[in-house]
């Protein structure tokens, strides 16, 4: 990441937006492309909506994906922790039996 802000021009749903950022331009373009796809998907569901309504729908969909991914990650971490504890118990039992 660069420390000096620069302007990166992106296009989302046919509109040009100059984004002042310290992020790499390729990453900013990737973000804009993702949002553009979400706006297009929202447009398919609600074709008569104005751009603000589409942006809200896209933001809600992106937020839903983010929260679901976070919840999945937390569930995965909890499952991994439970498995680790079970393995520790098995190893402890094996060591106890080996020492007898």
The answer to whether the CB of 50 falls within 8 A of the CB of 29 is: no
Query: Collapsing DSSP states into helix, strand and coil, what is residue 8?
Result: strand
**Surface-to-core class of residue 61, CB atoms within 10 Å of its CB (0-12 exposed, 13-18 middle, 19+ buried):** middle
- Per residue in 56-90, pLDDT (tens digit) is 999 999 999 999 999 998 888 888 888 888 888 88
47 secondary structure, DSSP code: T
Map tokens 């046919």 to a residue. 14
Distance, CA of 37 to CA of 15 (rounded, Å): 13
Q: Is the pTM of this model over 0.95?
A: no
Q: Which of 58, 54, 68 is nearest to 31 (CA)?
A: 58
Where along the chain do its domains lie? 6-99
Per-residue pLDDT of 13-29, as tens digits, reads 999 999 999 999 999 99
Instruction: At 24, list the tokens.
Output: 């790499």
């Amino acid at each position: 990441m660069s420390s000096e802000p620069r302007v990166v021009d992106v296009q989302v749903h046919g509109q040009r937006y100059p984004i002042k950022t310290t992020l790499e331009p390729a990453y900013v373009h990737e973000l804009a492309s993702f949002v553009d796809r979400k706006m297009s998907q929202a447009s398919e569901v609600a074709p008569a909506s104005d751009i603000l309504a589409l942006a809200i729908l896209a933001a809600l969909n992106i937020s839903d994906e983010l929260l679901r991914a976070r919840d999945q990650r937390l569930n995965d971490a909890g499952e991994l922790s439970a498995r680790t504890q079970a393995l520790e118990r098995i190893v402890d039992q094996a060591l106890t039996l080996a020492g007898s």
